[in-house]
Structure 1
Amino acid sequence: MTSTTSLQDDTVLSESISEELPPAGEPAVRRPRHHVLWRVALILLALVLFVAAVAGAGYAGLYYGERDREAQRQATLDEHYQNGLVALNNGDYERARAHFQYVLRLDPGNSLAAQGLAEAEARLVAKPTPTSEAVQSLTEILFQQAQSAYTAQNWTEAASSLTQLRALDRDYRAAEVEAMLFDSLYNAGMAFLEQEQLEEGIFYLDQAVALRPLDVNAANQRSLAARYRSALRFWGVDWERAIAELEALYASAPDYRDVFQRLYDARVEYGNSLVEAGEMCPAEAAYTKALLMVSSAQVEEKRAQAAQVCLIATPVPQEGGAPVLTPQAIPGFTVGRLAYPVYNATTGVYDLYALYADGKILRVVENGDQPWWEWYTGRVIYRDRLNNAISMVLPEEGVPQQLYAPDGRAWPTLSRDGQRIAFALVDANDAWNIYIATTYGGSEPQRLGLGWAPAWGPTGQLAYTGCDDTGCGIIVDNPDDDQPGTRLTASSDDTAASWAPGGNLLAYMTNVTGNWDIMLLNTSGGVAQLTYESSDEGLPVWAPDGSGVAFISNRDGKWALYLVDPEGKNPRRILDLGIEMPGWQHQRLSWAP
Structure 2
Amino acid sequence: MSDVSQTQPQTGAGRTVLRGLGIFLIVLAVLLLFYGGIAYWGWQSGQDLRREQAMASQTAELDKQLALAKVDMDAGNYELALLRLEWVVGHGGGSEAAELQAEAQHQIALLLTPSPTPTITPIPTATPLPAPTADLTEEQEQAAAAEAFADLEDIMADYKWEEAITAVPAFQLRFPSYRRPDTDKMLYDAYLEHGQRLLPTDEIERGLFYLEQARRLGPIPEEVQGQIVFAELYLEGIVFYDVNWPAYLYYFRELCSYAPLFQQACPRLEDGLIKHADGLALSLDWCPAAEHYAEARALPRTGPLPEGLAAKQDEASAQCLLATPTPTATPEFGQGGEEGGETEGGEEEGEPIEP
TM-score range, shorter chain: 0.3 to 0.5
More helix by share: 2
Task: Give the greater-gyration-radius structure (CA).
Answer: 2
More strand by share: 1
